[in-house]
Chains A and B, each alone.
Chain A
Amino acid sequence: MKISTRGQYGLEALVYIALNSSAGPVSIRNIASYCNISEAYILQIFLVLRKAGIVSSIRGAQGGYVLSRKPSEINVKQVLEVLEGPLTPVACIVKECEEPCVRYDICSTRLLWEMIRKRLDSLACSITVADLVEHFHAMDAMQNPDYCI
């Protein structure tokens, strides 16, 4: 059960934007350079995030990306679902499952997978980009005690 780099970089980029957008839109180049991945990959991820209404692109010389909503209104579940699909350990418990299992009703392991899915879902739902930013600042303050002068 793996969340791919797509979901991981997507979240990393969103936190980067949240941390750096006070001076205006954040360029793809800066995001790609911080995350250490190609601009093409970031663009691909942002195309999906833009369609989902999570980021907006601003055109022009000072253009780039901004969050479409407040950081406190974007949660980890929303981001991972648009980039990765449903957060599920197995495919058979998802409504849109392509090959519905004939044993669905009598399968006891299904109950386990559903319970895992539910718990991971609610955990992901409870963490917002604002929480991530706050935690980042806390970690930063721990590492650089002289940060605030």
Chain B
Amino acid sequence: MKISTKGRYGLRAMVDLAVYSTREHVSLNNIAERQMISVNYLEQVFSVLRNAGLVKSVKGAQGGYILADEPSKIHVGSILRALEGELSVIEYESSECRNMIQACLKEMIWDRMNECLNGMVDSITLEDLANDYRRLNGLDAITYYI
């Protein structure tokens, strides 16, 4: 049960945007540097995020990316689903039950795990993760607005 590199790096990049794009667009180079992810990889990830309507891009010298909405309105679930597809603890094909024990396991384990997983990512927003990021990186103390 693994979230792929795309989902992990994509989520980290979105947290970076939430923290740093409060005033201006952020270039992929800056995200790449801070998050230690290659620019090439970020380009792939951001084309998916842009198609999903989660980020907006601006071309030009001052160009870059910005979140399409407030961090408090973007749920982690939307980001992960855009990058990973439906979130499930088991392979989708095998979710069809061929006997009654499998149907029993589905109801008792897989459906409940999926509900737990999806409920969690849909209750946590990018703002929550951005706040954690600021705290862990000592950005709390900085006064942005004077």
Residues of chain A at the chain B interface (Cβ within 8 Å) = 1-5, 8, 11-12, 15-16, 19, 34-36, 76, 84, 87-91, 102-103, 105-109, 111-113, 115-116, 119-120, 123-124, 127, 131-132, 135-136, 139-140, 143
> 9 pairs across A/B with beta carbons < 8 Å?
A1-B2, A1-B117, A8-B90, A12-B99, A90-B2, A91-B2, A109-B15, A111-B132, A115-B120
Closest-CB distance, B62 to chain A (whole angstroms) = 27
Q: Are A140 and B107 in contact (CB under 8 A)?
A: no
Cβ A106 vs Cβ B137 within 8 A? yes
Set of chain A residues within 8 Å of B129, measured between Cβ atoms: 108-109, 111-112
Contact A135–B136 (Cβ < 8 Å): no
Q: Which of A84, A102, A124 has the most CB of B within 10 A?
A: A124
Return chain A residues, CB-CB under 8 Å to B136. 105-108
Q: Is B61 an interface residue (CB 8 A)?
A: no
In the assembled complex, which residues on chain B have CB atoms less than 8 Å from the CB atom of A16?
101
Q: Would you call A103 and B36 a contact (CB within 8 A)?
A: yes
**Beyond A108-B130, A112-B11, A127-B109, 8 additional pairs, beta carbon < 8 A:** A2-B90, A3-B1, A89-B3, A107-B12, A115-B120, A116-B117, A123-B113, A139-B104
Count class of interface residues, chain B: 35 or more
Residues of B within 8 A of A112 (CB): 11, 76, 121, 124, 129
Sorted from nearest, which 7 A-B pairs have the closest CB atoms?
A1-B1, A108-B132, A108-B133, A136-B104, A89-B3, A108-B129, A106-B136
Contact A120 B108 (CB under 8 A): no
Instruction: Evaluate contact between B98 and A120: CB separation under 8 angstroms.
Output: no
| A132-B112 in contact (CB<8A) | no
Residues on the B chain within 8 Å of A108, using CB:
15, 129-130, 132-133, 136
Q: Judging by beta carbons under 8 Å apart, are A140 and B100 in contact?
A: yes
A25 CB, nearest partner CB in chain B, Å: 18
The listed residue (A5, A102, A103) touching B94 by CB distance below 8 A is A5
Cβ-based interface call for B102 (8 A): yes
Known: A84-B1, A89-B2, A112-B129. A123 touches B105 (CB 8 A): no
- Is residue B88 within 8 Å, beta carbon to beta carbon, of the partner chain? yes
